């Protein structure tokens, strides 16, 4: 299912959401410009689980640079579909969360979700020597928060009913709940796989962290899920 838009306008201009989208696009164009040097760049700035594990275990003095990749990897992407898919979700759902948390609170929340998602990926893929990149863990945290705050908000969604497609307005809890369950099931199937692919447990961890953080903070809408 592909969300097209939500029927939940924000009351403020989502400057941080727009800035994050612009930064990710700019970094991606920089990646394209690297040409044959891109592989080395992704290994240097992407999150390589085994490198982080070894740095923490044997080289305490060298821990900081590998640890920084938990953050830098959030702004890297592996291709056009990876970039567009992530930023599309951020564009649809990020404005309402920024509206609730404020500009500063939202950027702190977003980066925290990305870091936690990255660490969970390391825990579940500790022997992987491949770089992991992408904002999906941070954006998953935004989705978890959205599910908690706006479960009944309507999301216009493209639903594949092969061989046809149907546009349906779904409650957010249906769309995002399905997304989370799907990621969890695929994550179970990917356990023990160190050959690359999608970081499903980063998605699950980011989503759960976003939902739980707002739950612990007691954030709720007073009445309607709509502004």
Q: Where are the domains of the chain?
A: 2-217
Half-sphere exposure of residue 32: CA atoms within 13 angstroms, side-chain side: 9
pLDDT, average across residues 9-27? 94
The span from the first CA to the last CA of the chain, in angstroms, equals 25
Which residue, chain included where needed, has tokens 């579940």?
A: 124
Q: Does residue 221 have a pLDDT over 50?
A: no
Cβ 177 vs Cβ 211: under 8 Å:
no
The partner residues of 3 in beta bridges, in order of sequence, read 157
Average pLDDT, the chain: 86
Q: What is the CATH number of domain 2-217?
A: 1.20.1540.10
Q: Which pLDDT value is given to residue 222?
A: 39
Q: Which pLDDT value is given to residue 54?
A: 83
Q: Which pLDDT value is given to residue 126?
A: 83
Q: Which pLDDT value is given to residue 155?
A: 92
Chain-centroid distance, C-alpha 4 = 18
Cβ 122 vs Cβ 53: under 8 Å:
yes
- Among 84-93, 134-143, 179-188, 214-223, which stretch is predicted with the lowest mean pLDDT? 214-223
pLDDT, average across residues 38-42? 91
167 token code pair: 């546009």
Q: Which pLDDT value is given to residue 160?
A: 81
Give the dihedral of Cα atoms 120, 126, 131, 135; nearest 10 deg: 0
């Amino acid at each position: 299912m592909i969300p097209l838009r939500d029927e939940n306008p924000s009351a403020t201009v989502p400057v941080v959401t727009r800035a994050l989208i612009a930064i990710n696009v700019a970094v991606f164009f920089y990646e394209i410009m690297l040409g044959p040097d891109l592989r080395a760049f992704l290994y240097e700035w992407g999150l390589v689980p085994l490198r982080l594990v070894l740095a923490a275990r044997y080289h305490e003095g060298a821990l900081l640079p590998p640890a920084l990749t938990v953050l830098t990897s959030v702004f890297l992407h592996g291709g056009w579909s990876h970039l567009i898919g992530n930023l599309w979700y951020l564009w649809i759902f990020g404005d309402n969360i920024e509206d609730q948390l404020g500009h500063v609170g939202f950027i702190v929340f977003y980066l925290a979700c990305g870091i936690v998602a990255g660490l969970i990926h390391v825990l579940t893929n500790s022997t992987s020597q491949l770089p992991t990149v992408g904002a999906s863990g941070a954006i998953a945290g935004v989705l978890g928060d959205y599910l908690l705050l706006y479960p009944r908000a309507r999301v216009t969604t493209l639903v594949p009913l092969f061989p046809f497609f149907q546009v349906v307005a779904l409650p957010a809890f249906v769309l995002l709940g399905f997304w989370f369950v799907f990621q969890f099931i695929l994550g179970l199937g990917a356990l023990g796989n160190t050959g690359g692919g999608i970081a499903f447990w980063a998605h699950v961890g980011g989503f759960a962290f976003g939902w739980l953080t707002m739950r612990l903070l007691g954030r709720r809408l007073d009445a309607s899920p709509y502004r």
